[in-house]
Amino acid sequence: MNVSALPRPPSSRRVLLISLSVLLIALMLGMEQLAPLFRALFPDQDPAMYQRESFLNLTLAHLALVLVSSLISVSVGVAAGLFVTRPAGREFEPLVSTLAAIGQTFPPAAVLAIVVPIAGFGFVPTLVALVLYGLLPVVQNTVAGLGTVPSQTLEAARGNGMNAWQILWRIELPLAMRVIIAGVRVSVIINIGTATIGSTVGAKTLGTPIIAGLVGNNLPYVIQGAVLVGLLAIVTDLAFERLEQRFSFGESGKA
Amino acid sequence: MIELQGLTKRYGETRVVDDISLTVEQGEFCVLIGPSGCGKSTTLKMINRLIAHSEGKILVGGEDITSLPPERLRRRIGYAIQSIGLFPHWRVADNIATVPKLLKWPSSRIAERVEELLALFQLDDDGLQDKYPHQLSGGQAQRVGVARALAADPDVLLMDEPFGAVDPLTRDTLQAELARVHRQTGKTIVFVTHDMDEALRLASRVALLNAGQLVQYDRPAELLVAPANDFVRDFIGRADLGLKLLSRRRVEEYCRPAQRTRNNAIASAPITWQVDADDRPMALLGGRLGEPETARTVVNPEWTATPEMSMKEALSRMVWFRVTALPVLDVEGRLLGEVTMSGVMGHRP
């Protein structure tokens, strides 16, 4: 999981991030231009290019779903992680960890099956499934990250006259941030992939061409959707890697 | 000034600190010492309310410490622990500025104060203030820790085994530096250690604790010469009591006039120093064990003494180099006098 430990100079990671981002944007805007290529590769498929919706719209809808679900997962997850590491909430730690774990054990498809009858088809049930699914890594890493702050550091903070808020904002959160961001990274990457199944209940995502391709036995559709989802996940992962490094405080690349 | 009055800390039925009363006068360097679990650290942490006391009273500067919020109290009392207590995500300058920032000093005043402290602790090398704690050596990190504790110019400084994690050589330097800073600033310091040599070196008063109780509170020399009971004697270390005593004494207390000559001729005294035109000793005539009184030994910088050197070190040099006398030199290397083996024995403690 710790990609940043790879023995690669950071500058080449940046080049990779930039070139993959360019590729992603190009495909998002101009997938349709590749129609001749797909026709040549799959002469028996007609049509060989998904055309019911533009890939730009699909990608933006996909991103919107991931963004909203991740925002909820992260706010709820970090808040829960903070709560159970404060003196007042310490006894709830096992309960919260268990709940978050259950959220992840539940297959997203099962969550969809339960939520669709209640909330109907489309965006909302997918959102619920993604939020539940993305919660665990955030909660876990928030608790773990706050746990890595040495007790001597906390004692020094208290001894120098910081109050509980100052200790949290100036010491604990910055020191835990790397681990928390790693949790958010896992959560968001999982959600980018998992969001595709939202298309089974009618949410507009990059899963839509994939599902259509699977149902209609059209491999080009599957490839067109999957390539964009894959690129989106890799670019996001590389971007998070750079974000994590901002909280390394002079220890370049050390976890 | 710090006053502990009947200070007690109970955890359930156990009294980890039991009815301790003592006064640390303004400018005093008080060392709390004792075996593990004697309550010395707990006592220290009760002074800045990191641990709440169960009974008794603590006055800092005449004020009961419970009369103001703990954060306000702690910003008025410097606190230094082992170097790991530095904030790892803050650069050296930010670490030092911790308390001034909490007190919302204007940034120009903070920058000025940081400069001042870096200079005081000889940390003003290029770029050091922009380094992160993990980029520092153990000794530098520890200096930063003490500088941080002094940043808001508190009257009182609490130090909890601050030099416990550094190597002996660095510890020696840090101790010398702390002694200098104490002399220069006149702060009241309460210092916890389990190292008797450290206590004897730094303290103006030593509080020896055992099982939560204060066994003896005295000046270091008194502790050595008049230990209250066998526990004190054992804790100081019966075997090298004499050496410990010498470690508290400085060469200047034992220094006496030296016999000089400009040539090889033996003067009347059994120990004579041959000096050059600038009064720098060149050789020792006589004074070498197992050799004739006329033996001439060229003075080696390693067996000279300075007035500030501890007598323990001077004695050690005499034993190591098999000479019965060391020349005492001033900063220019000129002969001030001599310390001799018989002088060590003759001096009354």
The domains located in chain A, with CATH, are 54-245 (1.10.3720.10)
Q: Could you tell me if B87 lies within 8 Å of chain A, comparing CB atoms?
A: yes
Tokens of B68: 């103001």
3-state SS, one letter per residue, for B95-135: HHCHHHHHCCCCHHHHHHHHHHHHHHCCCCCCCHHHCCHHH
Q: Could you tell me if B50 lies within 8 Å of chain A, comparing CB atoms?
A: yes
Nearest to A163 among B48, B71, B86 (CB): B71
Q: Answer whether A119's CB lies under 8 Å from A125's CB.
A: yes
Answer whether A249 sits within 8 Å of B89, measured CB to CB. Answer: yes
Using 50, 70 and 90 to split pLDDT, how confident is the model at B242?
Answer: confident
- Please give the sequence-ordered ranges of beta strands (E in DSSP) within chain A, or none if there are none: none
Q: In the CATH hierarchy, which fold is given to the domain comprising B2-248?
A: Rossmann fold (3.40.50)
CB count, 10 Å around CB of B65? 21
How does pLDDT run across A103-125, given as a tens digit for each residue? 778 888 888 888 888 888 888 88
CB count, 10 Å around CB of B25? 12
How does pLDDT run across B312-348, given as a tens digit for each residue? 889 888 888 888 889 999 988 899 999 988 888 765 5
Q: Could you tell me if A158 lies within 8 Å of chain B, comparing CB atoms?
A: yes
More confident residue, B228 or A251: B228
pTM above 0.95, yes or no: no
Question: How far is Cα A63 from Cα A104, in angstroms, rounded to an integer?
Answer: 21
What residues of A are in contact with residue B148 (Cβ under 8 Å)? 160
Question: How far is Cα A212 from Cα B58, in angstroms, rounded to an integer?
Answer: 77
Q: Are strands B156-160 and B77-80 parallel, antiparallel or unpaired?
A: parallel
Q: Which of residues 300-329 of B touch A (CB under 8 A)?
A: none
Answer whether A161 sits within 8 Å of B50, measured CB to CB. Answer: no
The mean pLDDT of chain A is 88
Q: Answer whether B331's CB lies under 8 Å from B307's CB.
A: no
Using 50, 70 and 90 to split pLDDT, how confident is the model at B91?
Answer: very high
Which among B302, B333, B307 is positioned nearest to B254, based on CA atoms? B307
Question: How far is Cα A153 from Cα A72, in angstroms, rounded to an integer?
Answer: 31
Answer whether B102 sits within 8 Å of A174, measured CB to CB. Answer: no
Q: Could you tell me if B278 lies within 8 Å of chain A, comparing CB atoms?
A: no
Overall average pLDDT of the B189-195 stretch: 93
How does pLDDT run across B265-290, given as a tens digit for each residue? 655 667 888 888 888 888 888 777 77
Q: What is the dihedral of CA B9, B11, B13, B18, to 10 degrees?
A: -20
Highest-pLDDT range among A244-248, B50-54, B264-268: B50-54
From B72's Cα to the closest Cα of chain A, the distance in A is: 7
Contacts made by residues B287-293, CB under 8 angstroms, sequence distance 24+: B287/B323, B287/B324, B287/B325, B287/B340, B288/B322, B288/B323, B288/B324, B289/B322, B289/B323, B289/B324, B290/B322, B293/B266
Which among A136, A241, A248 is positioned nearest to A183, based on CA atoms? A136
Eight-class DSSP state of B257: P
Question: How far is Cα B38 from Cα B18, in angstroms, rounded to an integer?
Answer: 10
Judge whether residue A2 has pLDDT over 80: no
Handedness of CA B264, B267, B272, B277 (dihedral sign): negative
Q: How far is CA B261 from CA A139, A214, B268, B274, B294, in A?
A: 83, 109, 10, 5, 13
Question: How far is Cα B33 from Cα B121, in angstroms, rounded to an integer?
Answer: 26
Q: Could you tell me if B89 lies within 8 Å of chain A, comparing CB atoms?
A: yes
Q: What is the pLDDT of residue A248?
A: 82
Answer whether B87 sits within 8 Å of A163, measured CB to CB. Answer: no
* SS3 label, residue B341: helix
Question: E strand or H helix at A68, and its extent?
Answer: helix A55-85
Sorted by where each begins, the domain ranges of chain B are 2-248, 252-346
What residues of B are in contact with residue A158 (Cβ under 8 Å)? 50, 74
Judge whether residue B160 has pLDDT over 90: yes
Nearest to B81 among A155, A166, A171 (CB): A155
Question: How far is Cα B286 from Cα B288, in angstroms, rounded to an integer?
Answer: 6
Tokens of B332: 């220019």
Judge whether residue B189 has pLDDT over 90: yes
Q: How far is CA B196 from CA A122, B31, B212, in A?
A: 74, 10, 18
For residue B52, count CB atoms less than 10 angstroms from its CB and return exposed for 0-12, middle for 13-18, buried for 19 or more: exposed
Overall average pLDDT of the B212-227 stretch: 89
Q: Could you tell me if B105 lies within 8 Å of chain A, comparing CB atoms?
A: no
Q: Give the nearest chain B residue to A163 (CA atoms).
A: B71
Q: Are strands B325-329 and B296-298 parallel, antiparallel or unpaired?
A: unpaired
Q: What is the pLDDT of residue A3?
A: 45
- Please give the sequence-ordered ranges of beta strands (E in DSSP) within A125-249, or none if there are none: none
Q: Could you tell me if A157 lies within 8 Å of chain B, comparing CB atoms?
A: yes
Answer whether A155 sits within 8 Å of B85, measured CB to CB. Answer: yes
Mutation choice for A interface testing from B87, B99, B148 by most A CBs within 10 A:
B87
Q: Give the nearest chain B residue to A247 (CA atoms).
A: B89
Answer whether A160 sits within 8 Å of B79, measured CB to CB. Answer: yes
Tokens of B44: 């220290």
Q: What is the pLDDT of residue A254?
A: 41
What residues of A are in contact with residue B154 (Cβ under 8 Å)? none
Q: What is the pLDDT of residue A5?
A: 47
Tokens of B141: 């990190």
CATH code assigned to B252-346: 3.10.580.10
